[in-house]
Structures are given as structure tokens and as C-alpha cells.
Amino acid sequence: MRGMRVVHVASEVFPFSRSGGLGDVLGALPAQQARLGAAVTVVSPWYADIAQPVREVWRGALDAPGSVPLADVRVGELVQGGVQFLFVGLGAFDRPGLYFPDDVWRFTQFARAVLPALERVGVVPDVVHAHDWQAGLVVALARLAGVRAVFSVHNLQYQGRWNLLDGMGWTGLPEWAFTHEGLEFHGDVNLMKAGLVFASQVTTVSPTYAQEITTPEYGEGLEGLLVRLTHEGRLSGILNGLDQDRWDPRTDVDVTPFADVAGKAACGAALRAEFGLDDAPVLAAVSRLAEQKGMDLLIEALPILTRDWNVVVLGGGDPRLESGLREWAAHPRVAFAQGMNEPLAHRIYAGADAFVMPSRFEPCGLSQMIAMRYGTLPVVRETGGLVDTVPHEVGFRFVGATPQALVDACAEARLTFDDRAEWTARAQEAMSLDFSWDGPTREYLGLYARVLSSPLRPLPGPVDA
């Protein structure tokens, strides 16, 4: 794999831009690929909020397909950890924040700019690895340019849909790309579908999620296409890794460092003191507040959970869920911190006893891995990456997406907590698990090699188009 030129394209990348797990993956996977010998470039938008010093390396108009000209495009560069980061600056991204209601338009502009921008700065990819719907159009444009592409689905629920009349003009793709099982989806343009249809290989971020999305329950209307990709050998699941340098209880500057379960005691005492909690064990969540994450189930379960647990929640999102947690924060055993605060997240992972993830679906999830690395035992619903990462002998799993199922699993955890020898053994086993990026990185590099050694798939449209 040494010298293979891999270009990742994504809407966010830690530490420059991040709203969740996608940014974390793009902050860790490319660096590990570079350590294993690949030549790696990451392309993302040049957001107004990027604080790091980015050096402008090119500016001008780009000759890109589509009805909207791409004038005054800027390309910035920053090299870090052996990875070249390129930032594409467009007027549509000159505003604070990452995501907005007009994102389909914004990211079609970004996608159209990616390949021409790479050409201007002299980067010739062997394989393009595009991530989620914001980069789905890049896959289609790469295929039309004869460049092999891999597409990763981090969350199938978000698909980048817009009305067909506008979308066809924005993308710059020929009409057949929409009508022959291409981007058209129930009268809309669907940029997630563009990635699925035109990619040489499609991956999801866990093996279980790759199976789940071929069913009506999890397929978000695309299950038929995904079943076909499975039969063609083009859909697989590669479990996300965890940045084990960033999340290391032995060296974490945001907590009292510890190397074993006994060392957690100081962090637990500090967390209780920070939120004025009593001596009951702490059940925590660090999460986007959304029904996908099952946070409504957690709120409904609080009247019973607070009999045996202190509950600490850090997160933001759905205003209704935020309001419910603010009301509950008046309870002496409930603490709620709104928004995202990374130092506080570290203190919660380190100081809590158990960590709850009642997700309705979870493509992979990183929080459960982080929690286990800090000896905090997860209570999770059996779905997606939670199945693939939480062993029965470590955590507590439940099936039904109901408050009662959550309560029952937390009751089992609470009984186990009282058996200190059993709890300590589970926590020590959790801390010993290997969630590093080394294995997944080698899987991706192997996948790229197979893609490069195989002929390009026929276009989904007419041969003479």
C-alpha cells in the first residue's frame, strides 16, 4: 500500500470542524493510514469558523460541471500528522457554523469543486474515499472522470434530498444519471444515493449496521438498492476505531489520570462534587439529543432510574429534549449540561460508573468505546455498532426501544454494581479492550487495493451517454 494516494472527502474533520462521530473518524483514520505508508489527503470545506492557520495555496475560478459558476474559489493547505489537509473555500461557506437548511445547494457546490481543486494543486488520487451524503456527488463525478471511489455511510438517515428541478441543474450531471437508477429518489435528488450507485465499494461503520440497513426497519427507503449492493459484493461494514491517544485515561489532562479501575475513584469523587451529587452510582450520557439516540426513552425512565442512580447528561439538539432535561435538572440526582464541552465530556467518561446509550439505531458509536476505555460500563440497546463493540461479559444490553427495557437493563447493572468484585472485573476487562484504528485501517487499505485491481464498474446509464 506504500505510496497509494488516498483522498478523503468529508464535510467535517477533527480538529478543524466537528459536530460528531464523522469528524472524529476523519481526524483519526487518515493519520493512521499515513502511518502505514499511504499518501493521504483530506478535503473539506473551508468554514469561516476554522481557527487553525491555513495557508492559501490557490485562488481562482474553477471549470466545473453545473449551471452555477464556481468563481473566486480558494484552496488552503495545512499538513499535520503526515496528512495533507486541503480546505475548499466557497462563498456558500463564508458563514459561522457547519450545517444549514440550504446544505444540499452548498454541498453540491463543494462537491463540484473538489476534483478541479485537486488538479490545480497537483494531487492525483488513486482512490477517492467519500463520506456521507455531503460527499455523495463527489463519487458520481469521480466515476465520470474515471477515478475509482469508495463511499462510506456514517448515518443513512441523512440523505441530502432536494427537489429534482433545482438539483439536476446544481449537480452538473447528465440527465441519464438521474433516470437510470441514479440520483432520483421519489421525485427528489438524493446525494446519498449518488454515492451508493456510483461507488466501486460501499462501506458502513460497523458490520451489524451493514446488515441492518438492508431491512425496511433501518433502510430509510434505500433497502432495495442496498440489498442489491450486498448481492453484488459491494457493501460491507468496517468498524470504526477510536483515537486511543486522545482518549487515554493514563495521560488525559482533563482528569486525574489513572491506569486501572481503582484509579477511577478520584475522578468519580470529582464528578460528584462538580454536580453536587450524592453517593449513589453515576449513570451518564454524552450525546446528541435526538430520538435516534433514544434520549426521549431516558427522560421517560428518569422517575425510576433516579431511585438507584445519579444521572448526568451532556448534550444538545432537539429543543424538546433539552427542555425536558432542564426541568429534570432540578432533581437532586439529575445534572444536565447543555451543548458540547470536550473537557467536561472527558470528566464524565472518567468519573461515571455506567454509561447509557438507548439508541434506536447506532451506525457505530464512539461513546461506548470511550466509556469502556475509562472503565465505565455501557448500558446499550442491541443495535448497529453497539452489538459489535459491547461484549455481554462487559456491558449490559437490551433489545426493545422502550423506557421499560432501559429500566430493566439499568436495574441489572445496578444489582451488578453492588457485587464489587464482579463490577471491578467487568470494568478492568472493558479497559483492556482494543479499539485502536490499526485493524480498521488495514481493512480499508485492503479494500482500496481490491478496488484498484478491479476494472471500473459500468456506468448505471447508457454506454454511449
18 is in an annotated binding site: yes
The string of DSSP letters for 126-195 reads: SEEEEESGGGHHHHHHHHHTT-EEEEEES-TT---EEEHHHHHHHH---THHHHTTSSEETTEEEHHHHH
Comparing CA positions, the residue from 87, 85, 98, 94 lying closest to residue 59 is 87
What DSSP character marks residue 279?
S
Residues 295 and 403: beta-carbon distance below 8 Å: no
Q: Is 366 exposed, middle or buried (0-12, 13-18, 19+ CB in 10 A)?
A: buried
**Which amino acid is it at 163?**
N
Contact residues for 83 (Cβ-Cβ < 8 A; gap 6+) = 30, 31, 34, 40, 41, 42
* Grid cell at residue 265: 475513584
What's the full length of the chain, in residues? Answer: 465
C-alpha cell at 228: 442489491
Residue type present at position 337: A
Q: Please name which of 348, 177, 362, 192 lies closest in space to residue 270, comparing C-alpha atoms.
A: 348
State the Cα–Cα distance between residues 222 and 113, nearest whole angstrom.
27
Q: Give, in degrees to the nearest 5, the angle at Cα 375 between 372 and 381.
A: 40
DSSP lists the bridge partners of residue 323 as none
Other C-beta atoms closer than 10 Å to the C-beta of 364 total: 26
Can the peptide bond before residue 15 be classed as cis, meaning omega within 30 degrees of 0?
A: yes
Is residue 230 helix, strand or coil?
helix
Residue 5 forms beta bridges with which residues? 39
- Within 8 A by CB and 6+ apart from 51, the residues are none
Sheet bearing 55-62, strands edge to edge: 55-62, 70-80, 83-89, 39-45, 5-9, 127-131, 148-153, 201-204, 235-237
Question: Cα–Cα distances in Å, from 373 out to 130, 203, 245, 429?
Answer: 29, 26, 11, 9
Q: Is the dihedral of CA 214, 215, 218, 219 positive or negative?
A: positive
Residues contributing to the annotated binding site: 18
Residues contributing to the annotated binding site for ADP-alpha-D-glucose: 18
